[in-house]
Amino acid sequence: MLPLDGIKVLDVSQIMAGPYCTMVLGDMGAEVIKVEKANGGDDSRQMGPYVEDESTCFAQINRNKKSISLNLKEEKGREVFYRLAKEADVVVENYRPGVTQSLKIDYDSLKAINPGLIYCSISGYGQTGPSRHKGGFDLVAQGMSGLMSMTGEPGRRPLKTGVAVYDIGAGLTAIYSILAAYIHRQRSGEGQHLDIAIAECGLPWFTWEAGAYFSEGRVPEATGWRHRVSAPYQAMRVRDGYMMLGCANQRTWERFCEDVIERPELMVDERFKTNLDRGANVEALEAILEDILGQQDRAYWLDRCDAAGVPAGPINDFDQAMHDEHYLAREMVLEVDHPTMGRMKTLGFPSKFSATPLAIRQPAPLFAQHTDEVLGEIGLAADEIEALRQQGAVR
């Protein structure tokens, strides 16, 4: 048994936010039927790099799903979708607001067929508000929400994050919202419409920044490699590069001074006695510490930090991260057999379940790989499926 065994999800989303959501639901055991458009399917199938003409981007985010292709602009294609929706627990879509109404697959249309349906819409700006009709992208959301003004070095060009944090954040928001709605339905029998906006999903993450802003009007600015509140809690230069150092409280700072760098006099220096003092004098503190840390390589300091119980770590590139012994021991790199690409590596599961461990049950599907199988399961005979294919309703 997997946690979501028995739950059926119709995935009418593409690219990243929606597919990430449905991938995790699939990892947890849900049956995910990916409904792809007839002219090429999910747009990420056309995003390289490729192995044997299959997109590796698509393959990484669409495991544990079945692929069918329906032409939702045609009545016959919609009729098939309605039959699937009648038996589904969840629908996930990421069209611009208004498109599902024009296709007649919006929440109100499907609710009439399946009153208990949980219908999750992921869009750039949500289903309401003055920007609802705009196309929304992760990069635009990072700018709009203020994130980019906080990212990068002070006085330099604003920087985006290294990954599509808002797309993934919207997918994560959709996951916990769907699960909460499912619990509500278990208690009440009532389905509902979930409205998730990429542009706002990250705002609740700015908890400390919001505290300072709402209480004092302080607008957070870019802090570069330093932390906004704690010091030293940042990247530090060592002899052979950089390391991360996390003295997030007074006791950790004291252990660092006494046991790691053996400079106890820094603890009583008026500039560095408290966290507030260290934050106010972070440039002077950084210069002193980097002069000390620059005398030895990173491995030396990391060993000393570990021995003293001071949080510290390397600044890895992605290749180094994927070979880190801890990640490998925690099975954060897995392998799966793909029908075209062969044996491929993929990222593992960050949630470790003691009773219902997650599993990759199948690799990302080929385009329309499961059309006949899925439509057969809802009662369509082979000749009916072929007739729909000839009419252009399915692929």
3-class state of residue 136 by DSSP: coil
3-class state of residue 92 by DSSP: strand
Q: Minimal CA–CA distance to 10: which of 105, 74, 103?
A: 105
Active-site residue among 89, 106, 138, 167?
Answer: 167
Q: Helix (H) and strand (E) counts for the chain?
A: 19, 13
Q: Minimal CA–CA distance to 256: which of 333, 308, 298, 210?
A: 308
Q: Centre a 10 Å sphere on the Cβ of residue 95 and count the other Cβ atoms it contains.
A: 19
Strand partners, 11: 34, 92
- Round to whole Å and give the CA distance between 151 and 139: 13
Asked about 167 being catalytic, the answer comes back as yes
Query: Would you state the torsion angle of the CA atoms of residues 86, 194, 176, 364, taken in this order, to the nearest 10 degrees?
Result: 50
Q: Centre a 10 Å sphere on the Cβ of residue 167 and count the other Cβ atoms it contains.
A: 24
Give the C-alpha distances (Å, rounded to integers) separating 71 from 41, 68, 103.
10, 10, 10
Q: Minimal CA–CA distance to 38: which of 8, 80, 68, 7?
A: 68
The answer to whether 184 and 194 have CB atoms below 8 angstroms apart is no
* Six token digits for residue 350: 């960050």
Residues forming the active site: 167
